[in-house]
Amino acid sequence: MTDPIDRPGKIIAIHLSYASRADQRGRRPASPSYFFKPASSVAASGGTVERPAGTELLAFEGEIALVIGTAARRVPLGEAWAHVGAVTASNDLGLYDLRANDKGSNVRSKGGDGYTPLGPRLIDAQQVDPAALRVRTWVNGELRQDDTTAGLIFPLAQLVADLSQHFTLEPGDVILTGTPAGSSVIVPGDVVEVEVDAPDAEGAPSSGRLVTTVTQGDVPFDGELGSLPAVDDLQRTEAWGSREEAGLPPAGAAAPESGISPALRAKLLEAPTAGLSAQLRKRGHHSCFIDGVHANIPGSKIVGTAKTLRFVPFREDLFASHGGGYNAQKRAFDAVDEGEVIVIEARGDATTGTLGDILALRAHARGAAGVVTDGGIRDFDAVAEIGLPVFSQGAHPSVLGRKHVPWDVDITISCGGATVQPGDIIVGDGDGVIVIPPALAESVADDALAQEIEDAWIAEQVAAGHPVDGLFPLNAEWRARYVAATGTGDRR
């Protein structure tokens, strides 16, 4: 078959289908999941694809494309392959810089013009074994992908049968069946070639090599119209294929970006905020509390350095100039580093949301330790499901613009009555959230943990029936007993 593929009615792509790719990603789906690509993304062999200005993570994905030959609606698995007319090569190109903004739909990240090259020749599907097809991809002549359909988690016929349960697959529709391990980033000037063949079939039919050359675009995205490209270490890892390929340190390596050493972080995670605040009070710090906030996930604890975000009261002209586009709120969530806590000044106004599930997802992907806001949050349950700890005044369904204008980031702010500067240490648990000046953190943590040991011993004595008078706090007699029993020095 040599008829060109011009304008499919539907292009359906699967998220993850090869075992080698699933192992690379560290997750294996129980069932196939899909997304649509626009017909305008189709391109022929020998064409170009543009990497848009301001982006860095355009990636290739060599795939086997199925072209539906006869209409399929609710077909059983055993009959599904009979509805496939042809097989060919495809390149499911994607721009990871835009992926996080579409939460799996891939509308912008994989829908660009030229992002679905197909061809150049069609293989008669009924003349090949769907379990014995091969897909290979070369970049600048170097073989990058080489796998067969024997490595699929979901057989090709299953995809046809599954999709036909939900809508009619029509002649000319295209199913992109997933990419194996080896997909990676390409840059302007790279030439990508994808070939699908059936090496064990009679005549070893082949699609020929599908050739695409990467070019550099010069038109940036307009932030006034929608979300802008943004990347983080997760997207870099998945685009390149591994942290090593992306030039990142191994997972679990010490990350000094947060400003808290691993040893200090461990102490702060162990010490309760009640004990830490008591030690701050002993040092003359009485305004360390972010009042009125509670955790969205019961039992959660946050430790991190502050990244600050300030909202000012709503005003029509200021919201027009600062509320839309790539505003301060979006910039803060796009730039938060691993181990940081986004702290938001919302003037204690709980009658509107200050973040929702999209921004929470972004912060979680960036490795943020949590968010503290003295306002409300939207999508309360969805944010909790993401797993990002958020301390706030509670849920509220309204949007930010009801009361606030996103104004500035990385400045000194007021949150819940406490002054917070960028780099301050934030600790939160079931008792609330406190702010610790970085210079005091080590000594405060050490003394709080020592006090915990002392308090535990006192609790044992009370449980044994001793009265609290003289025991809590320890008088001279009881302290001598405590030192003798525990071998602890006198901490007074």
Q: Could you tell me the two tokens for 476? A: 């001279």
Please report the pLDDT score of residue 1 as a whole number: 37
Domain ranges of the chain: 11-240, 260-442, 450-486
- 356 annotated ligand binder: yes
CA dist 56 and 233 (Å) reads 13
Per CATH, the number for 11-240 is 3.90.850.10
- Is there a binding annotation on residue 342? no
Encoded amino acid at 288, one letter: C
Number of Cβ within 10 Å of residue 192's Cβ equals 23
Distance CA 374, CA 391 (A): 8
153 assigned ligand-binding residue:
no
Residue 148 has what pLDDT? Answer: 95
- Judged on CB neighbours under 10 Å (0-12, 13-18, 19+), 387 is exposed
The pLDDT score that the predictor gives to residue 255 is 41
pLDDT, averaged per 10 consecutive residues of the chain (492 residues), comes to 68 93 83 93 93 89 96 95 96 89 83 94 95 95 94 94 96 96 92 95 94 90 77 81 78 54 89 90 87 91 94 89 84 90 94 91 91 93 90 90 89 92 93 92 89 81 84 77 71 48
491 marked as part of a ligand binding site? no
Q: Answer yes or no: is 359 a known binding residue.
A: yes
pLDDT score of 489: 55
Phi, psi of 357 (to 5 degrees): -65, -35
In 3D, which of 161, 87, 83 has the Cα closest to residue 121?
87
Query: Which CATH topology does 260-442 take?
Result: Glucose Oxidase; domain 1 (3.50.30)
CA 427/CA 450 separation, integer angstroms: 18
Instruction: State both tokens at 355.
Output: 């973040």
Read off the pTM. Answer: 0.55
